[in-house]
A and B are shown apart, each in its own frame.
Chain A
Amino acid sequence: MRDLFLLCFEYLKTGLFAIGGGLATLPFLVQMSNNYPHWFTLEQLADMIAISESTPGAIGINMSTYVGYNTYGILGGILASISLTIPSIVIIIIIAKLMNKFNDNPYIQNSLKGLRPAVTGLIASAGFTVLKLCVYDNINNTIKILPSALIVIFFILTQAKPTKKIHPILFIIAGAICGIVFKL
């Protein structure tokens, strides 16, 4: 019961402070895993991202359902997702009422200019955490070559500009196939 309460609290906090798309919740989840190691490990978190990216729905909501389920079963999954949305609902309804004032306020505009690069740095730090999990061999203290090479190839493919953007699901599927073929 204490875990359920803490989970809702952590997700209310995440909903209040994570700004932007679903991956913006990632730094908060890394922190959650560090603070409550019995909820989920960083490896599980990486799996959650993969599943959340390749199933319908916003990544942030998929991840909150997943984290909640892992921590406290079905009820945990539902309440974590609802907790994540409560701050949004309250804030957006207030903003919708004040919309014109909000649009022109220079303080808000300037604070957003500082926030966007910070959010970029925060997401990069989450990427770095997952990167370490993939390429760092903590038994031999070395960098694993094959996973590193695959990450570089996948990244280049994400930047390639064919006629149509490659869907993230195709990367996930290709990753799974590589994993089985190369026994990663």
Chain B
Amino acid sequence: MSNKKHGKLRLLLDLYFTFFKIGSMTFGGGYAMLPLLNAEVVEKKKWANEEQILDYYAIGQCTPGIIAVNTSTFVGYNHAGILGGIIATLGFISPSIIIILLIASVLDQVSHISEVKHAFAGVRIAVTALIFSTVFKLIKNNVNTILKVIIAIISFLAIVMFDISPIVISVAAAIVGILFLKEDNKNA
């Protein structure tokens, strides 16, 4: 009995540190996490196979929350139950919290220097371009019928011109999907 408990504790620690490692090596969004998941979770630990990881991704992508967190929870839960899901997620977010808190505390002291201000103005420009490249990719992958183009444009205008809550927009889009995007299934 105590042996079993000991094994469970070791498994949870293993989950925590594996996801800590993944979190500390993922730069950017959830997609950047995929090669690391394959290397650590599939090949090294054998906690899931490649297909399962893709399923977790697909579900993580279209359920509430950040893809990387959803995927961490999925792997952790399937391997060590509810506690496993929580521990894997905490492992994944720990490096972010530590690194960002360090940077944020330093940034307050240097943010008045003019070079730093210029640098950030330039960085904002790069970020704008990166956001639009993400949008462009999303349009190519998901906005492929007239109705979907209309949904995308209305969502954009609703928030830019009328400041409508993203929650309202999301719920409305889901309803439109259920009512009007049925016939797509046959083609898929």
Q: Which residues of A contact B (CB under 8 A)?
A: 13, 15-28, 31, 34, 46-47, 49-62, 65-66, 69-70, 74, 77-78, 81-82, 84-85, 87-89, 91-93, 95-96, 99, 102, 106-107, 109-131, 133-134, 147, 150-151, 154-155, 157-159, 167-169, 171-172, 174-180, 182-184
Q: Is B39 an interface residue (CB 8 A)?
A: no
Q: Is A180 touching B133 in the complex (CB atoms < 8 A)?
A: no
Beyond A57-B95, A127-B131, 19 additional contacts (C-beta under 8 Å) are A15-B66, A17-B167, A21-B30, A34-B163, A53-B28, A54-B27, A57-B26, A58-B23, A58-B66, A62-B100, A69-B101, A82-B93, A113-B148, A118-B172, A119-B170, A125-B160, A127-B132, A159-B133, A184-B118
Q: Is B159 an interface residue (CB 8 A)?
A: yes
Q: How far is the CA of A105 from the CA of B62 in the complex (A)?
A: 14
Q: Is A65 touching B152 in the complex (CB atoms < 8 A)?
A: no
| Least Cβ–Cβ distance between A119 and chain B, in angstroms | 7
* Residues of B close to A55: CB separation below 8 A: 27, 96, 99-100, 103
Q: How far is the CA of A99 from the CA of B52 in the complex (A)?
A: 12
Q: Is B151 an interface residue (CB 8 A)?
A: yes
Q: Is A120 touching B185 in the complex (CB atoms < 8 A)?
A: no
| Least Cβ–Cβ distance between B133 and chain A, in angstroms | 4
Q: Is A89 touching B89 in the complex (CB atoms < 8 A)?
A: yes
* Residues of A close to B1: CB separation below 8 A: none
Q: Is B128 touching A62 in the complex (CB atoms < 8 A)?
A: no
Size range of the chain B interface in the assembly:
35 or more
* Residues of B close to A118: CB separation below 8 A: 151-152, 155, 169-170, 172-173
Given A57-B99, A121-B153, A124-B152: A167 in contact with B27 (beta carbons within 8 A): yes
Q: Which residues of B contact A (CB under 8 A)?
A: 23-31, 33, 55, 59-70, 73-74, 77-78, 82, 85-86, 89, 92-93, 95-97, 99-101, 103-105, 107, 115, 118-136, 138-139, 142-143, 148-149, 151-156, 158-160, 163, 165-167, 169-170, 172-178, 180-182, 184-185
Among B103, B119, B126, B133, find the residue whose CB has the most chain A CB atoms closer than 10 A.
Answer: B126
Q: How far is the CA of A125 from the CA of B160 in the complex (A)?
A: 6
Q: Which of B139, B159, B165, B184 contacts A125 (CB 8 A)?
A: B159
* Residues of B close to A92: CB separation below 8 A: 59-60, 63, 65, 70, 73-74, 77, 85
| Least Cβ–Cβ distance between B59 and chain A, in angstroms | 6
Q: How far is the CA of A89 from the CA of B70 in the complex (A)?
A: 7
Given A21-B30, A74-B101, A121-B151: A115 in contact with B93 (beta carbons within 8 A): no
| Least Cβ–Cβ distance between B156 and chain A, in angstroms | 4
Q: Is B126 touching A122 in the complex (CB atoms < 8 A)?
A: no
* Residues of B close to A109: CB separation below 8 A: 185
* Residues of B close to A58: CB separation below 8 A: 23, 26, 29-30, 33, 66-69, 92-93, 96
Among A13, A26, A46, find the residue whose CB has the most chain B CB atoms closer than 10 A.
Answer: A46
